[in-house]
Chain A
Amino acid sequence: MADTGNSEAIAAAFADGPAYVPYLAVGDPDYEASLEYVRALDRGGADVIELGLPFSEPIAEGPTIQGALVRSLDAGMTPDRFFAFAEELDVEAPLVCMTYYNLIYQYGGSEARSASDASGETASTGPRPFVERAAAAGIEGLVVPDLPAEEADPLREACDEFGLDLVFIVAPTTVGDRLDRIMSRVSGYVYVQARLGTTGARSDVSDQTTQSLDRLAEYDVPKAVGFGISSGDHAERIVAGGADGVIVGSALVDIVAEGVEDDLSTAAVADRLEALSRELKAGAERGHAARAEPAESR
């Protein structure tokens, strides 16, 4: 599978055993606490960490993650502070940035615009400056929920230029030509949306997940299942069902939100994040062991 990926660290994260891929919104509820929370995920066994860069109109998120993004924005998060955060983190797991296309598209745009205004040319915005800055900050991949494969070529090129993976989301309703179009552009891993709808923690496992994994079996890219995974048992069943990894967001964000509501200390919230991470990671490993014949790098 290494031939489809740009990031060696992400490939390695999926190479030996199931990957636990937690998500948190960076800067939720503030910069300093958020640093501690992401480090707790790393201690808890994260193989890849997805860092949410908040956009003001997150159309793909449910209320839980939307709440986190609003808290982060209210606390002053910006793309530049996000990159500073990634540089300051110093964790073992490779970092993937999850954000919306307008922030990628606009990055460096105001400088480009004032420069081009001076030269009398039209503005040159585009994804390249963002990807260049992300690479410099140690980001190894991007997930952009509102960027369909059809519009993704400029970003794909920039990611290839700077060695980042570009992760796409595949929904239960993604079939046929659309699936091929996405799978021909994906790298690192494919984010398998476990069910229709937006993000949010739920307790059951969906048939849609199994069907999606079956459809994806022929593609040589790691499959990480996300949307609604909230417990170790849940992660176990997902991995036993054929996933190469589990992506967990809302269940972790819920812990941060409770910390805000109940006014808990940063350390207390970090402990809970680390504990849930251990549970999820252990569940994923049980699921992997339970597979009848674990397929080594198909």
Chain B
Amino acid sequence: MSETEPTTSEATSARDGADAATPSRRPGRERGRDDGKFGPYGGQYVPEALMPAIEELTDAYRRYVLGNEDGFMDEFRERLADFGGRPTPLQRADRLSERYDREVYLKREDLLHGGAHKLNNALGQVLLAKYMGKERIVAETGAGQHGTATAMAAAHLDIPCEIYMGERDINRQRPNVFRMKLNGAEVNPVTAGRGTLKEAISETMRDWATTVENTHYVIGSIVGPHPFPVMVRDFQAVISEEAREQSIEKAGELPTDVVACAGGGSNTMGTFAGFVDDEAVALHAVEAGGSTLEVDEEAGVAPNSASLYTGEEGVLHGARTKLLQDSDGQIMESHSISSGLDYAGVGPELAYLVDEGRVSPVAVDDDAALEGFHRLSSTEGIIPALETAHAFGFLEEHHEELGDRVVVNVSGRGDKDLDAAIEETDKRDIDEAPDMSMFTGGI
């Protein structure tokens, strides 16, 4: 059976003597599908009122996503191609390859419709909601990327959509709010608590608890109660399925290293899923190191979002995972220069893969991320999202530890971040940065 596997020595390791009748020769790719458990992580820690909705969703996930009932997956793939623009290219980065003296390839998720990987998941879930007969979509958003992707998908599939967004984030991300409204979504400001992503998630869960009968909650990452983490991973896995094939096509073999930034972890798991069973491929999850990894326990603030690297096991938003929390178990305020990585938790599957030693977590701070932003912009002609820029900060700092073929996921484009980039660049002295002194304000 391994003869059908594409050429690579590591892919033929004939694990568990895989008997030809079972498709279990890639067990990591399917981890958690049965019960939502990843070792000690995952589960369904939700109010009882949500359990029937979660059971209904689990059933729909099995039938439509895993079983392709009514041709769901076929339609999903077709819409990803026609509406989304898939497949996205795997591009050799010539300057970076030269700079780091190894082959560097970019998986161009920034070229997906909407400018980020987010549409893979949003389109999958909104389509699933239609197949389930739901009449309304709710979603949370932090920076607005998931909200805009969900609003696009809902408009495309003609279903009403409401987005919950923290009031503070609304003020920080006005263009994204406008994009959602342009696509016909209602944007509900969340004033509770501190008015950021975690409050928006809580608020969306509250909405869902009241409206489960006709509403589907499109969660934005591989977080939350089962089946969300496996379902979102399966929708995002198209990134690594393509990248794996494209690597073999372009380089004749699998990459030695795969790199992705990690917040909640949806682009991360999407980029890793297809490679998890290729044990010789090293997987690097790059988290936001923020300004420092030190926490201020008194103020309940962690000035970073490095939950894989520094977090402790706990329960948040429906799942057991690694969290930024104080010694009592209260969730801390996280921070990152990129609001898309700014979350105190992380997907349970990534927490498990880190414990198992399969995924290496590494933290890259705000400064290195911003330098990565400028480096990719000026040398490759690609302006990355500040989230994505962390992966390029990692490349600069750690390239000598990597093998000779590296794939980096460009999870999103940076147009949304230009105001923040100007402001943050102003505070620093960065070689590759353009002189912005002619501007007195934002763009």
**Residue of chain B at shortest CB distance from A101:** B315
Q: Which positions 28-46 of chain B face chain A at CB distance < 8 Å?
A: 43-46
**Residue of chain A at shortest CB distance from B355:** A122
Stretch at the interface among B12-20, B61-69, B174-182, B322-330: B322-330
Q: Which positions 237-289 of chain A face chain B at CB distance < 8 Å?
A: none
Take A55-B330, A66-B193, A79-B328 as given contacts and tell me if A151 and B49 are in contact as well, using a CB distance cutoff of 8 Å: no
Do residues A102 and B327 form an inter-chain contact, with CB atoms below 8 A?
no
Please measure, in the bound complex, the distance between the C-alpha atom of A57 and the C-alpha atom of B197, giving whole angstroms: 11
The answer, among A66, A70, A105, A106, for a CB contact under 8 Å with B327, is: A106
Q: B14 → chain A, closest Cβ, in Å?
A: 32
Do residues A174 and B327 form an inter-chain contact, with CB atoms below 8 A?
no
Q: A56 → chain B, closest Cβ, in Å?
A: 5
Do residues A102 and B317 form an inter-chain contact, with CB atoms below 8 A?
no
B99 CB–A CB distance under 8 Å: no
Q: Which positions 188-210 of chain B face chain A at CB distance < 8 Å?
A: 192-193, 198, 202, 205-206, 209-210
B48 CB–A CB distance under 8 Å: yes
A171 CB–B CB distance under 8 Å: yes
B23 CB–A CB distance under 8 Å: no
Please measure, in the bound complex, the distance between the C-alpha atom of A80 and the C-alpha atom of B326, giving whole angstroms: 14
Per-residue 0/1 for B323-352: is the Cβ within 8 Å of any A Cβ (1 yes, 0 no)? 101011111000000000000000000000
Do residues B331 and A171 form an inter-chain contact, with CB atoms below 8 A?
no
Do residues B328 and A59 form an inter-chain contact, with CB atoms below 8 A?
no
**Residue of chain B at shortest CB distance from A63:** B192
The CB with the most chain A CB atoms within 10 A, among B198, B206, B315, B329, is that of: B329
Please measure, in the bound complex, the distance between the C-alpha atom of A67 and the C-alpha atom of B206, giving whole angstroms: 14
**Residue of chain A at shortest CB distance from B204:** A59
Per-residue 0/1 for A78-118: is the Cβ within 8 Å of any B Cβ (1 yes, 0 no)? 11100000000000000000001111011101100100000
- List chain A residues, Cβ under 8 A from B330: 55-56, 73, 103
**Residue of chain B at shortest CB distance from A69:** B193
The answer, among B48, B198, B300, B312, for a CB contact under 8 Å with A193, is: B48
Do residues A182 and B48 form an inter-chain contact, with CB atoms below 8 A?
yes
- Tally A residues with Cβ within 8 Å of B: 47
Do residues A106 and B47 form an inter-chain contact, with CB atoms below 8 A?
no
Do residues B209 and A102 form an inter-chain contact, with CB atoms below 8 A?
no
Do residues B209 and A105 form an inter-chain contact, with CB atoms below 8 A?
no
Take A102-B314, A105-B315, A125-B313 as given contacts and tell me if A148 and B210 are in contact as well, using a CB distance cutoff of 8 Å: no
Q: Which positions 206-252 of chain A face chain B at CB distance < 8 Å?
A: none
Q: Which positions 31-53 of chain A face chain B at CB distance < 8 Å?
A: none
Q: A155 → chain B, closest Cβ, in Å?
A: 12
Take A106-B328, A151-B43, A197-B210 as given contacts and tell me if A66 and B315 are in contact as well, using a CB distance cutoff of 8 Å: no
B280 CB–A CB distance under 8 Å: no
Q: Which positions 150-172 of chain A face chain B at CB distance < 8 Å?
A: 150-151, 168-172
Q: B174 → chain A, closest Cβ, in Å?
A: 25
Do residues B314 and A193 form an inter-chain contact, with CB atoms below 8 A?
no
- List chain A residues, Cβ under 8 A from B206: 59-62, 197-198
B52 CB–A CB distance under 8 Å: yes
A178 CB–B CB distance under 8 Å: yes
A17 CB–B CB distance under 8 Å: no
**Residue of chain A at shortest CB distance from B205:** A59
A12 CB–B CB distance under 8 Å: no
Do residues A59 and B44 form an inter-chain contact, with CB atoms below 8 A?
no
Do residues B51 and A148 form an inter-chain contact, with CB atoms below 8 A?
yes
Q: B346 → chain A, closest Cβ, in Å?
A: 15
The CB with the most chain B CB atoms within 10 A, among A56, A113, A125, is that of: A56
Q: Which positions 291-316 of chain B face chain A at CB distance < 8 Å?
A: 300, 312-316
Do residues A123 and B51 form an inter-chain contact, with CB atoms below 8 A?
no
A138 CB–B CB distance under 8 Å: no
Do residues B44 and A106 form an inter-chain contact, with CB atoms below 8 A?
no
Do residues B44 and A105 form an inter-chain contact, with CB atoms below 8 A?
no
**Residue of chain B at shortest CB distance from A130:** B329
The answer, among A70, A105, A110, A173, for a CB contact under 8 Å with B212, is: A173
Please measure, in the bound complex, the distance between the C-alpha atom of A70 and the C-alpha atom of B192, giving whole angstroms: 9
Please measure, in the bound complex, the distance between the C-alpha atom of A240 and the C-alpha atom of B399, giving whole angstroms: 72
Do residues A198 and B312 form an inter-chain contact, with CB atoms below 8 A?
no
Please measure, in the bound complex, the distance between the C-alpha atom of A105 and the C-alpha atom of B73, giving whole angstroms: 39
- List chain A residues, Cβ under 8 A from B192: 63, 66-67, 70
Do residues A123 and B313 form an inter-chain contact, with CB atoms below 8 A?
yes
Please measure, in the bound complex, the distance between the C-alpha atom of A62 and the C-alpha atom of B202, giving whole angstroms: 10
Q: Which positions 364-384 of chain B face chain A at CB distance < 8 Å?
A: none
Please measure, in the bound complex, the distance between the C-alpha atom of A173 and the C-alpha atom of B331, giving whole angstroms: 30
Do residues A196 and B212 form an inter-chain contact, with CB atoms below 8 A?
yes
Please measure, in the bound complex, the distance between the C-alpha atom of A56 and the C-alpha atom of B202, giving whole angstroms: 10
Take A66-B192, A109-B329 as given contacts and tell me if A148 and B202 are in contact as well, using a CB distance cutoff of 8 Å: no
- List chain B residues, Cβ under 8 A from A125: 313
Please measure, in the bound complex, the distance between the C-alpha atom of A190 and the C-alpha atom of B339, giving whole angstroms: 42
Q: B46 → chain A, closest Cβ, in Å?
A: 6
Please measure, in the bound complex, the distance between the C-alpha atom of A168 and the C-alpha atom of B48, giving whole angstroms: 9
Please measure, in the bound complex, the distance between the C-alpha atom of A114 and the C-alpha atom of B210, giving whole angstroms: 42
Would you give 5 A-B contacts (Cβ < 8 Å), ordered by A?
A59-B46, A60-B206, A146-B315, A151-B44, A174-B51
Which positions in B face A, CB cutoff 8 Å? 43-49, 51-52, 55, 192-193, 198, 202, 205-206, 209-210, 212, 300, 312-318, 323, 325, 327-331
Closest CB pairs A-B (n = 10): A106-B329, A197-B210, A110-B327, A171-B49, A60-B47, A173-B52, A102-B329, A102-B315, A103-B329, A56-B330
